[in-house]
Amino acid sequence: MVKVFISHSTSSDEPVAGLRDAVASGLEAREYTVLLDVRFQQPGQPWQLKLARFLGECDAALVLVNQAALDSSWVRRETNILHWRKTLHPGMVLVTVLVGEISVGQLKNSELRYLAADDVERIRTCSATEIDRLVEQFPKIHRRLDDTVSKWLDNISIQLAEIKAQSTFTRIARELDLPDEEHAQLIPGTAHVLLASQMLHTHDVARLCNALLVAWDGGLDRHRTAKLATMILPVWVDRDEARRIVCETDGLVRRVVVLNVDSPLIGQHYLDRAFCVDSKGYYVAEAHGRPPGDDDPESYLLDQCEGAVRAKFCLRQDQDLDVLKEPLNLGRFFLLLDAQRCDLAIVHRVIAQLLDKIPWMYVLVVSGRRVDLRQIWPGSPDEVLVLDPQFADGDEILVKTVVRRVTDRVGTIYGGSW
């Protein structure tokens, strides 16, 4: 059956709790399965674990926003995952309900501000008419069987499930800043689900690194630790900024993304974050710009790019790229181009030649930190998406240091999806 999750904070708000229960009853009358945490909060039972599962398996969601919800870290955690799922799958029904005197302005100025971009309703009373109106926001919904975020959670859980000691789970929880009162729920056999959810909620790359190293020290083997690193380290990237790579490249006019950062590793993390490290969603070839002193930088750059594409598709060096046909059902193909030492006019001309031969290819250009990048790009502004992250000093160095620290322990971390 179709499952609808209700996110709320109502332990000290009886009127909103009554609204919650009335909406749940209305949805169940329509033969939806309602996922509601209060039905599982029994003494000694790991309800947080059940909640983590709800977030991954629901087909639709309703968020009740009262003042307690605006202040709740749990509601932030829940809605962060729900909104990300909505972003990846725009057809998912996610309804935010402002309760009582809560205004749209309060929502936009809160930690839940991202919800303001989705369907927002208002309810002031618990009348049958208003409840029916809310329930009607959920049309006939089909089960969602191929949900990228759910698979991401599952894949992280699979790696963590190999940890046997509860003490290791507890140490990981501390590194991820999971509150002490929730550590009792970290029971071997189930703790991996709760920690997987917390990892996707942790955007501090140093904390993610330390959690990985605790898992490694706690007995997780090299192969699984490397997989886990591939899946969780990109979580530090801002999800909405990364998702623009998917949502704002239409495949017709716009196939080029310029990322104003200093390292191809950051570009790889942006792609990983945008596609939730889903191996069916994307695959990547890497090319680099000219070495110092090259006499013909344009020819060199074109050779590097074509060589990277040939290697990715197992072509001989004498085979022209015109022979390539777009593989079906393999996701988007990205050329990750390190162009930090390249003239952007040359980069633009080379990309034009490549897209003339491979019109279904996407290109992510790592430009290096350049001032007014949107103004100096030589092509039409309509053909390129410029991402200009406002990193603090040392942020990129920290990410590269973290990746080096992990690879020094476990070996190569797989580039891109796996």
**Farthest CA pair distance, the chain:** 77
* Distance in angstroms (rounded) separating the CA atoms of residues 73 and 33: 25
Q: What is the pLDDT of residues 239-271, one digit of tens each?
A: 889 989 988 887 777 899 999 999 999 999 999
> Given this model, what pLDDT does residue 51 score?
65
For residue 163 the two structure tokens come to: 């940890």
- Which CATH number do you get for residue 356? 3.40.50
For residue 131 the two structure tokens come to: 């409840």
pTM of the complete model: 0.81
Let me know whether 280 and 383 are in one domain: yes
Let me know whether 170 and 247 are in one domain: no
In a domain, 288, yes or no: yes
For residue 399 the two structure tokens come to: 């990410």
pLDDT in tens, the chain (418 residues): 788 899 998 888 888 888 889 989 989 988 888 888 765 544 444 445 566 667 777 888 999 999 999 998 888 888 888 887 887 777 788 899 998 888 999 999 998 988 988 788 888 777 888 888 888 887 766 665 557 888 888 899 999 999 988 899 999 999 998 877 777 777 767 788 888 888 988 899 999 999 999 999 999 999 999 999 999 999 999 988 998 998 888 777 789 999 999 999 999 999 999 999 998 899 999 998 866 666 788 999 999 999 999 999 999 999 999 899 999 888 999 999 999 989 999 999 999 999 999 999 999 999 988 878 778 888 888 889 999 998 988 999 999 999 999 999 988 875 543 3
> Given this model, what pLDDT does residue 205 score?
96
Let me know whether 199 and 319 are in one domain: no
Let me know whether 210 and 340 are in one domain: no
Contact 61, 4 (CB under 8 A): yes
Let me know whether 229 and 243 are in one domain: no
* Distance in angstroms (rounded) separating the CA atoms of residues 192 and 127: 41
Let me know whether 8 and 127 are in one domain: yes
Let me know whether 231 and 300 are in one domain: no
Q: Residues 344, 346, 352, 357: is their CA dihedral positive or negative?
A: negative
Contact 98, 41 (CB under 8 A): no
In a domain, 141, yes or no: no
Let me know whether 61 and 196 are in one domain: no
Q: What is the pLDDT of residues 329-363, one digit of tens each?
A: 889 999 999 999 899 999 999 999 999 999 999 99
Let me know whether 126 and 44 are in one domain: yes
> Given this model, what pLDDT does residue 52 score?
66
Q: Helices 344-357 and 297-312, interaxial angle, to 10°?
A: 40
Contact 281, 331 (CB under 8 A): yes
Domain boundary among 98, 113, 135: 135
- Exposure letters 11-25 (e unless 16+ CB within 10 A, then b): eebeebbebbbbbbe
Q: Residues 142, 146, 151, 154: is their CA dihedral positive or negative?
A: positive
Let me know whether 269 and 356 are in one domain: yes
Let me know whether 50 and 108 are in one domain: yes
Let me know whether 29 and 128 are in one domain: yes
In a domain, 259, yes or no: yes
> Given this model, what pLDDT does residue 1 score?
73
In a domain, 142, yes or no: no
Task: Starting at the earlier edge strand, list the strands of the sheet with 332-338.
Answer: 282-288, 332-338, 362-366, 256-259, 384-387
**Secondary structure string (H, E, C) spanning 330-349:** CCEEEEEEECCCCCHHHHHH
HSE, CB side, 13 Å, CA atoms: give it for residue 254.
16
In a domain, 417, yes or no: no
In a domain, 381, yes or no: yes
DSSP string of 82-97, one letter each residue: HHHHHHH-TTSEEEEE
* Distance in angstroms (rounded) separating the CA atoms of residues 25 and 22: 5
In a domain, 140, yes or no: no
* Distance in angstroms (rounded) separating the CA atoms of residues 256 and 364: 6
Domain boundary among 101, 135, 169: 135
For residue 371, the enclosing domain spans: 239-388
Domain boundary among 135, 157, 173: 135
| 37, 129, 311, 359, 387 from 124: Cα distances, Å | 23, 11, 61, 53, 41
Give CA 22 to chain center in angstroms.
33
Within 260-352, strands assigned E span: 282-288, 332-338
Domains in the chain, number: 3
- Which CATH number do you get for residue 30? 3.40.50.10140
In a domain, 314, yes or no: yes
